[in-house]
Structure 1
Amino acid sequence: MKVRKHYLSKADSQAYFTAYLIDDYKEYQQGVKRPVVLICPGGGFMKLSEREGEPVALTFLQKGYHAIVLHYSIATAQDVRSDIFFRALREVGITVRTLYEKEEQWHVDTSSIILVGFSAGAHLAAFYSNCWSDSEMAKTLDTVSARLKIRAVVLGYPLCDLRILSRFLTDDDSMNIEVKAFLERSIEVICKDKSPGILTLEKLSPVCQVNENTRPAFIWHTAEDEMISVENALEYALQLSRHQIPYELHVFERGVHGLALANEFTAGRPEEINSSCQEWTALMFQWLNEK
């Protein structure tokens, strides 16, 4: 396996991806192009979860995928109002474009680019799966839409509807103070506004951007997620259904937010080990194999 760190811009040392590339071995599958997964960790656009990066990449490597972990732009105390979300969205597009450019060199099957996101990273992934075909996106990235296309998206406990999150922050008096403050700042970073209006919330919510070019989705969430309501996953699945976009949705009864692989490998605390939710990877690979 080769591990490569690739900066997305010479002028920006923050945004880069780490590529885990399976060697082109002589003894088996020589010259075969492999599917690739592009992983967007969560973190509210203020940090990037390490648990949702490399450990997930290793899971895909075991199944014969190349794996890319994207370290997209996040906000700092100084640039909370800068255009973080759309900067990160462009970085997803740049990474996809790079995979097309490296198709022969890295033995990448560009017809099987899978975009995986968790929490805020899933918000980013879902949004990209809706807008990859926009002519403005291709123009901004100096390419054509065909070289920005992904096969499918995998969304773990996704933030898909900012309207739901805004409502919960307003109505739920029982929410943990630290959690509430974190989510309020996340909305501010995404929207560049502490109190965004409904039009802004809709513009930046993946549920409102589903269209005929939206990519198929595998979605998983837990019913008792204390940070991002399961309504986000349900509403996104409903919009996919209305637009006749293929999807598979799994809602596990128990489980805290941010489970990652839900096993000992990615657990930072005991409640992040959840044997039921560990099944999401097996279910996902079965779904991908049937696509």
Structure 2
Amino acid sequence: MKKLILATMISCISALACANPVIPLWPEGVPGARANIGGEQLKEGRISNVSEPTLTLVGPAVDRPNGTAVIICPGGGYVRLSADREGTQYANWLSGLGVTTFVLKYRMQEFGHPAPLQDVLRAVRMVRSRAKEFGIDPARIGVMGSSAGGHLAASAGTLFDLPAGRTGAALDGTSGRPDFLMLMYPVITMDPAAAHMGSRVALLGKSPSAELVAQMSLEKQVTAATPPTLLIHTQEDQAVPVENSILFYQALTKAKVPAEMYLFEHGGHGMGMKDGLGTSSDWPRRAEEWLRTRGLLSKR
């Protein structure tokens, strides 16, 4: 583990401590790299203008590692990453449950589709291929995402075999399918009736084809192979309508995919782990119960 830390500690994401290794996602070169987009920006815990995707490893509590891993996709409308509130905080919470986490810094509007999908599938493949090194079970790798990060996580769970998610790298031969999903107030549909239009434009552009809109409306991409899913959303969310989670839950139910959904009254968009929001602030307890019931917090 010491060798891994020394070999990969090349930078830090936002408030994530430098003791946490930062692993380049594309050491052989970022696919479709662009040299004209300027430098990465970091302001108040938010990252934008990403051109070098990475994973930041946050290890499990030393006394309770259980072999489960979660790749965390922060939200931000495919424009920026809320790396502190929807990355670091989740990672620290999951660490306390014995889970190994990887906070994903992914490409966004500067690249558009399919770059984010390539990044999240590469993350799953990389973590799975190095499971022994990380001390995790290759069959217990989940993806968690918030808002647009929830769309990316759900993309991993529905579009893991999409040809556009591959780049021709050797790792494409490793499965990119997550074993479970945890979706926080996720963007799901690209249908204007319930879409978060900012995320849609940032990912697909201003005039996407009808075929691309349908493909990236993830409620239409659910199959029996979609992994078990936990959904968290609130009625007060004025940015991403609660219908997004409901549509996905309905599709999961139709496909007979195990799913659990908690819809709370209070808590606006981007609530993260904020206190004082009534019952919605208790969502981490519900999530822990879900993980425990699925056997993901027991040691193997």
Question: TM-score, normalised to structure 1's length?
Answer: 0.80
Judged with a 3 Å threshold, the aligned counterparts in structure 2 of structure 1 residues 5 and 21 are, in CA distance, closer, same or farther, namely same
RMSD (CA atoms):
2.4
**1:33-66 CA distances to partner (integer Å, 9 max, x unpaired)?**
6211110000011100021001100000000011
**1:134-167 CA distances to partner (integer Å, 9 max, x unpaired)?**
577467453466632322100000111110xx23
Letter in 1 for 2:24: Y
Give 3-state SS (helix, strand or coil) of 1:19's partner. Answer: strand
Partners of 2:278 and 2:168 in 1: CA distance: 43
Unaligned runs of 5+ in 2: 2-18, 31-50, 295-300
Judged with a 3 Å threshold, the aligned counterparts in structure 2 of structure 1 residues 71 and 144 are, in CA distance, closer, same or farther, namely closer
Letter in 1 for 2:176: L
- Which one has the bigger helix percentage? 1
Judged with a 3 Å threshold, the aligned counterparts in structure 2 of structure 1 residues 191 and 151 are, in CA distance, closer, same or farther, namely same
Judged with a 3 Å threshold, the aligned counterparts in structure 2 of structure 1 residues 48 and 162 are, in CA distance, closer, same or farther, namely same
How far 1:129 sits from its partner (Å)?
0.3
Residue 250 of structure 2: aligned partner: 238
Matches within 5 A, 1:242-257: 242-257=254-269
Residue 180 of structure 2: aligned partner: 152
CA contact (8 A) 2:156 2:176 kept: no
Judged with a 3 Å threshold, the aligned counterparts in structure 2 of structure 1 residues 122 and 40 are, in CA distance, closer, same or farther, namely same
How far 1:168 sits from its partner (Å)?
5.4
How far 1:85 sits from its partner (Å)?
3.0
Residue 237 of structure 2: aligned partner: 225
Letter in 1 for 2:108: I
CA contact (8 A) 1:17 1:71 kept: yes
Residue 57 (structure 2) aligned to one of 19, 35, 40: 19
- Kindly, what percent of the aligned residue pairs are identical? 25
Judged with a 3 Å threshold, the aligned counterparts in structure 2 of structure 1 residues 185 and 134 are, in CA distance, closer, same or farther, namely closer
Give 3-state SS (helix, strand or coil) of 2:132's partner. Answer: coil
Letter in 2 for 1:70: L
Partners of 1:87 and 1:197 in 2: CA distance: 17
1:199 aligns with 2:211: yes
Question: TM-score, normalised to structure 2's length?
Answer: 0.78
Q: What is the aligned residue count?
A: 255
Residue 90 (structure 1) aligned to one of 95, 118, 134: 118
Letter in 1 for 2:238: E
Partners of 2:152 and 2:124 in 1: CA distance: 14
How far 1:284 sits from its partner (Å)?
1.2
Judged with a 3 Å threshold, the aligned counterparts in structure 2 of structure 1 residues 223 and 109 are, in CA distance, closer, same or farther, namely same
Give 3-state SS (helix, strand or coil) of 2:144's partner. Answer: strand
CA contact (8 A) 1:96 1:148 kept: yes
